[in-house]
Amino acid sequence: MRLSRYFLPTLKENPADAQIVSHRYMLRAGMIKQQSAGIYSWLPLGFKVLRKIENIVHEEQAKAGHIAMQMPTLQSADLWRESGRYDGYGEEMLRMQDRHGRDMLFSPTAEELFTDVFRSHVTSYKDLPLTLYQIQWKFRDEIRPRFGVMRGREFYMKDGYNFDLTKEDALHAYNRHLVSYLRTYERMGLQAIPMRADSGPIGGDDTHEFLVLADTGESEVFYDSEITDLKFGDREIDFDNVDQCQAVLEEFTSRYARTDETHDEAVFNEVPEERRRVARGIEVGQIFYFGTKYSDAMGAKVQGPDGKPVAVHMGSHGIGVSRLLGAIIEASHDDKGIIWPEGVTPFHVGILNMKQGDDEADAACDALYNSFTALGLEPLYDDRNERAGGKFANMDLIGLPWRITVGPRGLKNGVVELTSRRTGESEELPPEQAVARVAEIYKGIA
């Protein structure tokens, strides 16, 4: 993309009402525009990152054997009356009536709809196990929407639902989700720690939240510092392998890590003092096992191996896709702007022309642009007729992890400059080598 032809409405000044850094940078970098409290338009740059995050979620879900589909955002109240949640959900649920006076609502989550689809089409235990999911807009009329996309009213969420014959099978689904989520967050350059949590209005016994440590996080968390040394890495996992998934769960959840809702001072004090940490975290996901709560209420049964009907065991699993943009920026920025991890960056590399209109510099930038494009990488070429200082500040703000600076002086010596946004380190090298270096970095990522 050539910046002169893109739509990137950046702001020079810090927006007054943005209290946390991710919100400030998302507004300044022209990623979002607030339309009303907690409701945003996603401008091209923000939309691009949202799509990248969404794609990672889809890819990892597919590896775990989960099946994507899509539910409507506007739902009839009837199903929610069946589950008993229509009255229970409270003021966070946005309710409305259609022209016939029928009660409708904007989905805050979708256990009811998935359970309904399941009971309409699945009749035998032979069709299990089954995990269906969607990535879809949700609406919760939060009392205090704030911090930009972190606590919106309209937000984008992956929500998945497993249907299993037995409790053991459903617990395997739980473990499988935990493993797959660890991988999902790591691909986004994030460390998200599974912590024992409280189940809230979804209900159920087993639940973990995934938290990204950040001072601006809304949750208070208590953990054993050893947990931050754990990495999922690129280990191979067979998601059907019960023992393997169980082992990963144990590895990542055996140390003390809890949110304030489940925190137990006495148990925490058993952790050696020098490893006890009290910090803040951003909840980027949660997994639940809740047994037959919804299948009992809504009659989601299958014929078991003995011919008798059995209520299926279920769980649900959520990832805050739009919140993740904020969480990633909170975890990865400096005083000049965002620093995107390679896995989610909106463009792979920035090309900065120091002297637009100089034939040689323009030609070198075009050549770089074409080389990257031919390799399937997306460059953002700042080809505007602006002074170099403004171009540098803009590139730093929008946070592409790699930048190539092209100027007449370097070109005389046959070199351009490759700079890492994260470390600020630069290296001069011939253009072809700069392209090869960037291509190497993105191998297996882009």
| From 286, 295, 345, 419, residue interacting with Mg ion (rule: CB under 5 A) | 286
| From 140, 187, 277, 313, residue interacting with ligand ATP (rule: CB under 6 A) | 140
Residues 185-224 that bind ligand ATP (CB under 6 A): 200
Pairing state of beta strands 379-382 and 349-353? parallel
Complex with ligand ATP: residue 23 or 151, whichever CB lies closer: 151
Q: How far apart are CA 31 and CA 47, in angstroms?
A: 7
State which amino acid sits at residue 430.
P
Using the contact rule CB under 6 A, the part of the chain among 42-50, 236-244, 278-286, 372-380 near ligand ATP is 278-286
Q: How far apart are CA 164 and CA 186, in angstroms?
A: 28
109 binds ligand ATP (CB under 6 A): yes
| From 217, 320, 341, 343, residue interacting with ligand ATP (rule: CB under 6 A) | 320
Rounded least distance, CB 168 to ligand ATP, Å: 24
Closest by CA to 66, choosing from 364, 298, 287, is 287
Q: How far apart are CA 387 and CA 384, in angstroms?
A: 9
Closest by CA to 202, choosing from 167, 241, 160, 240, is 160
Rounded least distance, CB 109 to ligand ATP, Å: 6
| From 179, 237, 284, 314, residue interacting with ligand ATP (rule: CB under 6 A) | 284
Choose from Mg ion, ligand ATP, none: what does 332 bind? Cβ within 5-8 Å by kind. Answer: none
Three-class SS state of 167: helix
Rounded least distance, CB 430 to ligand ATP, Å: 45
Three-class SS state of 49: helix
Using the contact rule CB under 5 A, the part of the chain among 55-63, 279-287, 376-384, 408-416 near Mg ion is 279-287
**Count of residues touching ligand ATP (by CB under 6 A):** 16
Choose from ligand ATP, Mg ion, none: what does 183 bind? Cβ within 5-8 Å by kind. Answer: none
Q: Which residue has the tokens 């990204």?
A: 212
273 Cβ neighbours under 8 A, 6+ residues apart:
none
Using the contact rule CB under 6 A, the part of the chain among 99-107, 128-136, 284-292, 333-341 near ligand ATP is 284-292
CA distances from 296 to 129, 270, 359 (A): 18, 40, 72
Q: How far is CA 313 from the centre of its chain?
A: 27
419 binds ligand ATP (CB under 6 A): no
Query: How many helices (H) and strands (E) in the chain?
Result: 14, 23
Residues in contact with ligand ATP by the rule CB under 6 A: 109, 140, 142, 151-152, 155, 157, 200, 283-286, 318, 320, 322-323
